[in-house]
Amino acid sequence: MKKKILKYGLTAVISIAILFLLQRLLMPKYVDGIVEGAFVAEYYEEEKDHDVIFVGDCEVYETFSPLVLWEEYGINAYIRGSAQQYIFQSYYMVEDTLRYETPDVVVFNIQSLQYDEAQSEAYNRMTLEGMKWSKTKVDAINASMKEGEQFLDYVFPILRYHTRWSELTETDVQYMFDKKKVSHNGYYMRVDVKPAENVPEGRPLGNYDFGENAWKYLDMMRELCAEKGVTLLLVKAPSLYPYWYPEYEAQVEAYAEEHGLRYINLLEDAEAIGLDYTTDTYDAGLHMNLSGAEKCARFLGHVLSVEYGLEDRRGEAALDEAWRGKKEAYEAEIAEQKVKYGIKDE
């Protein structure tokens, strides 16, 4: 009997180990090319002692440089954003963050209000896979799944990526267990420049109203922040495209006013920020490059520091130490990207 138990036990262990290794191998690593899928998971490697947490889609993780916030205002910030992160996912990102820490301010980029439900399975994956397992993640998955998606595919990603064996590269083997960091406190850096020219006007829409689901999650985020004593700040990143309609703006303004929230539309503050769309964007106005992100961080840092009275924490030994390392990585990547994009130092 003992022998039988040992035999079948060993079989189970070997089988599970093989499946585990295969799963690690087949899952996308997001260390080169599309790196956005790695951002969410990187948060868990951090010391959870942030003053400000940013949540939102690409407009947030490419618009604010946390290093500038630290260096110029002593604000310890982290961006919990991912590609096309929908509002319901941002809500769960806040809920998830509050399991670990209670920041003073949550900054939410309202761009995703226009999506009432998930648009793409691939984006769902990039946001949700990196989250640590908890009831919050389960709820986030359930809120996000599109028709045809299966919850079990999130539990056992090998079921989702089972056909990736035909696309495997050396990177998949290299980063099976240990991934290199691709963000800087959630910030996705790009140093290259592509001026914004001929930005298209928005096409008229049939309906400009944000959906019920989007409003529901914004309400939930607001209530959660209020319950935990966290200040919720709404922002709109200064991206020229996708077009931000005046009708959208009016709805957000009305909501902010109704609930006593601060809302900053950085598009309207572009001049005050000092943005130059010929030099501060890397993709013709969609997203900020390093120069734009540093300017936006500087601007928002002032608001956070002066208007919200966030404490300057420079001088705290642990934070100073941590940020020293982060700065080195930040500067190394700037140098690396400059080489990559053929940018010469001025």
153 touches other proteins (CB under 8 A)? yes
Amino acid of residue 328: E
Residue 112 half-sphere exposure, CB side, CA atoms within 13 Å? Answer: 28
Report residue 287 as tokens: 């997203």
Report residue 104 as tokens: 């003073």
- By C-beta, is 159 or 272 nearer to other proteins? 159
Minimum distance of other proteins from residue 163's CB (angstroms): 7
Residue 52, φ and ψ in degrees, nearest 5: -130, 135
Pick from 158, 176, 224, 334 the residue near other proteins by CB under 8 A.
158
Residues 106-135, interacting with other proteins (CB under 8 A) = 121
Q: Which residue has the tokens 């080489």?
A: 339
Amino acid of residue 38: A
15 touches other proteins (CB under 8 A)? yes
- By C-beta, is 14 or 272 nearer to other proteins? 14
Minimum distance of other proteins from residue 150's CB (angstroms): 6
Binding mask 161-190 for other proteins (x = CB under 8 A): -xx-xx------------------------
Beta-bridge mates of residue 288 = 281
- By C-beta, is 44 or 151 nearer to other proteins? 151
Closest C-alpha to 112, from 246, 232, 260, 213:
213
Length of the chain: 346
Cα-based distances in Å from 59 to 64, 127, 141, 188, 270: 9, 14, 22, 10, 15
Give ∠ CA 46-191-306 in degrees, rounded to 5: 60
- By C-beta, is 4 or 203 nearer to other proteins? 4
Helix-strand-coil percent breakdown of the chain, rounded to 5? 50, 10, 40
152 touches other proteins (CB under 8 A)? yes
Q: What secondary structure letter does DSSP report for 113? A: G
- By C-beta, is 146 or 180 nearer to other proteins? 146
Distance (Å, whole) CA 305 – CA 293: 17
Segment interacting with other proteins, rule: CB under 8 A, options 104-112, 146-154, 232-240, 284-292: 146-154
Minimum distance of other proteins from residue 152's CB (angstroms): 5
Under 8 Å between Cβ of 88 and 217: yes
Distance (Å, whole) CA 301 – CA 68: 8
- By C-beta, is 18 or 335 nearer to other proteins? 18
Pick from 72, 139, 149, 316 the residue near other proteins by CB under 8 A.
149
Minimum distance of other proteins from residue 127's CB (angstroms): 15
Minimum distance of other proteins from residue 146's CB (angstroms): 9
Minimum distance of other proteins from residue 120's CB (angstroms): 11
| Sheet architecture: strand order including 105-109 | 77-81, 52-56, 105-109, 231-236, 262-265
- By C-beta, is 165 or 341 nearer to other proteins? 165
Segment interacting with other proteins, rule: CB under 8 A, options 48-56, 156-164, 208-216, 255-263: 156-164
Residues that bind other proteins (CB under 8 A): 7, 11, 15, 18, 22, 121, 148-150, 152-153, 158-160, 162-163, 165-166
